[in-house]
Chain A
Amino acid sequence: MATKPQTELLPGTLDLLILKAVSLNPLHGYGVLVRIKQISGDALDIPQGSLYPALYRLEQQDLITAEWGQSDNNRKAKFYSLTPAGRKRLKQETDGWNRFAAAMTSALNTTSEEL
C-alpha cells in the first residue's frame, strides 16, 4: 500500500499530466494512471474515476486521439495518443507551468535580507 505522503492535484493540472503521459507513447486509460504515478514518483493522488471525463474532454478538444488496440495481456483496450495540436498545447502549458513554478519558488524563498 502507498506509504508516501500524497499531494492533491491543483485544479487543471490533471489535463497537463495526461498530455505528458500520452506524449511518451500511446497508453490506455489504466496505463495513463500508472504512467502518471510512475513519472510523478507516486507522489500525486489521482482520483481514478475523474481520469475518464478528462480523457473524453481532451479527445473532444482534439488534443488527444483514441484508437482501439490490444493490451499487453491481449485484451481489447482504447489507446490514447497525442495529436499535433495536443503536442503544441503540451509545450505551451509546460512552459507556462515552469514560469509559474519558478515565480512561485522564487517568491516563496524570498528572505527579508533580499528585499
Chain B
Amino acid sequence: MQSRDRFEQQMSDEMRFHIEEHTRELIRQGMSPADAERQARIDFGSVTVAQEDCRESKGWHLTDGLLRDLRYSLRALRNSPGFSATAIAILALCLGANLAIFAIVDAVLLKPLPFPDSHRLVTMYNTYPKAGVLRDGSSLANYAERRQGLQSFEHLSMYAMGETTLGQERVPSMTVTREFFQTVGVQAVEGRAAFRDEEMQYGGGNPVIVTHPLRNQSLRINGAAAQIVGVLPPGFRFLSSEAQVFLPLRFDPRDATPDKRHSGGNVKQIIARLKPGVSIAAAQAEIDQQNATAERANPLATWVADAAFRTNVTGLQADYVETVRPALVLLEIAALVLLLIGIVNLANLLLIRAAARTRELGVRQALGAGKWHIVRETFVETLLLSFAGAIPGLALGWLGVAAIETFAAAYLPAGTQIPFDLRVAAMSFAFAILIALALALPITWFSLQADPQQALRAGGTRSTTQGLRHTFVIAQIALAFVLLTGAGLLGLSLHKILAVDPGFTPGHLLTGRIHVTRNQRHAALSRIFAQLRQQPGMIAVATSDNIPFSGDVGKASSIPKGYIRPAGQPPRGHYLYSIDGDYFTALGHRLIEGRFLTPESTDRSCVVDRDFAQYYWPNQSALGRLVFIGPDQRPDDQGFRIVGVVEPVRQAGLAESENLGAVYYPGTIWPQDDVYLVTRSSTPLAPDVMRHAAQSANLPISDLQSMDHRIHQSLAGRKSPAFLSSLFATLALLLTAVGTYGVISYAASQRKREIGIRMALGADPGQIQREFLTLAMRLIVPGLAFGAAGAFWAGHLLTVLLYDVSVSANSAIVVAAVVLLGGAALLACWIPSRRASRLSPASVLTAD
C-alpha cells in the first residue's frame, strides 16, 4: 500500500505544479494573481476527474473497487458476529474433513507407484475360488513357462517376501529372480541391480543387493559373509515390504516342472512389465490361452477345473490398494456429502441474510449501484467467508491427517506417506473458491430478481426464495439421513464383529516369529521351552507355523483316507498347522471330543477342527480316522490318526465367514522352519523375556506382538471408517439442526407483524405454534423420505464393508435415524415456533 500512497502524493504534486506554472505564465502575460489562478484552474478542468482517469491509466481502479467491496464485506461480517462465526465454523469443519480424507485418497489411490512408467507394471496370481482359495500367488512352474513365449511382457520376474538373519537379527528381506529390478525399473547407484546367471544357482556364492543405508557395511547373512553386488537408490522400497536386503530366489528346476504348476502357496509372486501399448486385457487373454494349453496335458485337469482355477492379471497399483479402496472411496463420498450439506446450509443462511438486507439493497440500487456491482460484492463476500473458513479448515485437515496416521496407520498400505503439502493446501484454496462460487450463485440470483422498488415499500419484504430455501432444508435432511444410516450400519457391523467368538480364549498371549532349521530344531525348542516355562505365571509354551491373526491365510490340501471327491464337487483347501509344545492350551482351544496332541510325542496323531470333521464325516465321529497331507491317497503308514476334535478358530480375522476346516499336525513329524513362538501366562509376559529365551538358543526373533494387538490390528480397517463416518454423521446432524432452525426462525421473524395482529385479535397461541410445526413437517417428512431411499442405496454401496448387517435386515437403524434426525429437526423448529407463539402483541406492533 505504500507505493499506492506515494502514487497519490506524486500525482497531486504533479498537478499542483502544473497549475502553479500555468498561473505564473498567466501572471507574466499581465493577469492579476487572483484571476490568473482562477483561469489556470478553469483551463486545467476537474482535478478529480483527471486523477480518476490517471488511476485508471495505471490500473488502480480494479483493485480500488475490490478493496471497497472487501471493506464493505468485512464490515458486514463484523456486524453479525454470530452468523459469521457459525459460517466459518461450518466451512472449517467441512473443509477440514474433506482435506484430510482427500490427502489420504490422493496419497493412497491417486498417486502412481514410485516406479518409472508404473502403469505398465502388473501382477498375476492363481485363484481357485471354488476350493475356497482366492489367492495362491504363482508357482515356480508358472514362472518357468511364462518367461518364454509371451508377447505381452517386456520383463517378467518372481519374488517372495520373507525374513533373513542379518548379523544377529531377523530382518525383512526379499528373494528375487534375476530381472526383478529391471522389471520394476530401478537401477543401481553402485554395482548392478541384477544377479548373474551363476549367482541364481545353488552354490553361486552369497551375493546380495542392498538398500542405500546398508551400502558400506560388511554384512553377514544367514551366518556367512555376504558380497554386496549392487546398491539401490536412496529411499527405494518395494510396496509394503520393509526389505533392506535382496537375495537371489534360487530353486531346483525339478520344483518347476509342469506337475507342480498348482503348488503356489501364495508365497511367490509374479510381477511383470507390459510392453508399451499392451493392455492388461490383452495380457490376461494371453495368459488364459497359455493356461488352457498347459492344462490340456495336466493329469490334475479336472481337479483344477472343478476349483474354477484362473490366473488373474491386475495392475500392480490396483492390486496393492485393493483392500483399502472401498473404505477410502466411501469415506471420500461421505466427506463430500458432508461438504454438500455444509454448502447448502450456508447458502440458506446467506439467503436469509440477503432477504433481511433487501431494503438496504433497494436503497443502494435506487442510488445507482449497478447490478454487476452487487454481483461482484456478493462474490467478494462469499469468497471472504470461504477463505476465512479455509484457514482453520487447513489446520483441522492437517490435524485430521496426523490423527489418521497415528491411529489408522495399520489400515493403510504399509509405507504410505501422506504428504500434507503445498499441493493439498492449493487444493483447499481451490475448494474455497468453488465453494464461494456455489454460495454466491443463489444469492446473486435472488439479488438480481429482487425488485428494488418493492423492497423500498414498507414491510414489503415478501421474498422470492422461500421455495429454494425449503428445498435446501429438505436436501439437507435427506443427505444427513444417508450419512446417519451409513454410520449406523458400519457401527453395528463393527459391534457384531467385536462380539464374534474367535474360537480360542483371549488372555495374556505373546507371540513372536523365529526361524529354526530341522537340524537345530529339537535342541533349540527344548531350550527355549524350558527357559520360558520357568517364568512365573507361565501357563503354556508352544510353537506353530501359523497362528490366527498373523495375516497368513494360505490353505493347503489334506484328505482323509479313502475319500473320493464326488464328481463336480470342488476340491477343498484347509488350514494346516505344524505345532509343538502345549499349543492348544496356549491358545485356549476348546476340545469337543478326544484329546489334544501330547507335547514332544512322535506318534503319527493329529487333531482336526469341527468344520473339518463335519465336512468329511457329517453326523459321525472323526476320532480314529486317518488323514494324509496333500491331495493324494498314500500308504497307511504315512497317514495321521485323528485323536481329537476342537472348536474352529477364526484364522483370517474375526469377520472370516468360510468354514474351511483345519488340521493340526505334530511338528516332531511334520516340521516347518518358520514358526511362531506362543506363550500364555497369568500376567503379561515382557517381550524381552521371550526375546532372550530365543536368543539363548541363538535364534533371533521378530514380529513380537501380543495376540490382543494382532486382533486389534486386524480390526483397524473397520474401526477407522466406522469412527470417521460416525463423526461425519454427527456433524451432519448438527448442521441440519442449525439449518432447519435458521429457516423456521426466519419464517417466524418475517411473520411477526401478522402474528402480533392476530394475537391482538385474540388468536390462540397453540394455533400459531401448530402452523409453524405444520410448515416444519412439510420440510421434515419429504426430507426423511428421500433420505430413506438414499439410505438403501448407501447400504448397497457399503455391502463390501459390512459384516452380517444390511439395511433391509437391520431396519431398526433406519428407524433410529428417523427418530434421531426427525427429533433434532423437530426440536430445531419447535424452539422458534414456540417463541413466535409467545410474542407479546404490543411489543411487536410498536417495534416498527
A residues whose Cβ falls under 8 Å from a Cβ of B = 28-30, 33-34, 47-50, 52-54, 56-57, 60, 71, 73, 75-78
Contact = CB atoms under 8 A, between A and B. Distances in A.
Contacts of B59: 60
Contacts of B10: 78
Contact of B57 (A28, A48, A56, A78): A56
B17 A48 contact: no
21 contacts: A28-B14, A28-B17, A29-B14, A30-B17, A30-B21, A30-B22, A48-B18, A48-B22, A49-B47, A49-B50, A50-B45, A52-B14, A52-B18, A53-B56, A53-B57, A56-B54, A57-B57, A60-B59, A76-B13, A77-B14, A78-B17
Contact of B43 (A48, A56, A57, A71): A48
B22 A49 contact: no
Interface string B151-178: 0000000000000000000000000000
Given A29-B18, A30-B17, A77-B17, A52 B54 contact: yes
Contacts of B18: 29-30, 33, 48, 52
Interface in B31-53: 43-47, 49-50, 53
Given A28-B17, A50-B53, A56 B45 contact: no
B57 A60 contact: yes
Given A56-B54, A57-B57, A60-B59, A49 B17 contact: no
Residue of A28, A33, A48, A76 with highest tally of chain B CB at under 10 A: A48
A49 B56 contact: no
Contacts of B308: none
A55 B15 CA distance: 12
Contacts of A30: 17-18, 21-22
Top 3 A-B residue pairs of the complex, sorted by shortest distance between their CB atoms: A49-B45, A53-B53, A56-B57
A33 to B, nearest CB: 8
Contacts of A73: 24
A56 B13 CA distance: 14
B735 to A, nearest CB: 49
Given A53-B53, A53-B57, A47 B14 contact: no
B12 to A, nearest CB: 11
Contacts, number: 60
A12 to B, nearest CB: 15
B58 interface: yes
Given A30-B22, A56-B58, A60-B58, A78 B14 contact: yes
A53 B50 contact: yes
Contacts of A49: 44-47, 49-50, 53
Interface string B455-499: 000000000000000000000000000000000000000000000
A52 B17 contact: no
B229 to A, nearest CB: 63
A75 B17 contact: yes
A79 to B, nearest CB: 11
Contacts of B46: 49
A22 to B, nearest CB: 15
A52 B15 CA distance: 8
Contacts of B50: 49-50, 52-53
B63 to A, nearest CB: 14
Nearest to A46: B43
B45 A47 contact: yes
Contacts of A56: 54, 57-58
Contacts of B15: 29, 52
A93 to B, nearest CB: 19
Contact of B44 (A28, A48, A78): A48
B45 A48 contact: yes
A59 B144 CA distance: 77
A37 to B, nearest CB: 11
Contacts of A28: 14, 17
Given A48-B44, A49-B50, A52-B53, 17 more contacts: A28-B14, A28-B17, A30-B18, A34-B25, A47-B45, A48-B18, A48-B22, A49-B44, A49-B45, A52-B14, A52-B50, A53-B56, A71-B21, A75-B17, A76-B17, A78-B13, A78-B17
A33 B44 CA distance: 11
A13 B784 CA distance: 71
A49 B51 CA distance: 9
Contacts of A60: 57-59
A53 B55 CA distance: 8
B15 to A, nearest CB: 7
Given A53-B54, A56-B58, A29 B17 contact: yes
A48 B13 CA distance: 16
Residue of B15, B21, B22 with highest tally of chain A CB at under 10 A: B21
A29 B18 CA distance: 7
Contacts of B13: 76, 78
A3 B731 CA distance: 82
Contacts of A50: 45, 50, 53
A83 to B, nearest CB: 16
Contacts of A78: 10, 13-14, 17
A51 B25 CA distance: 18
Nearest to B24: A73
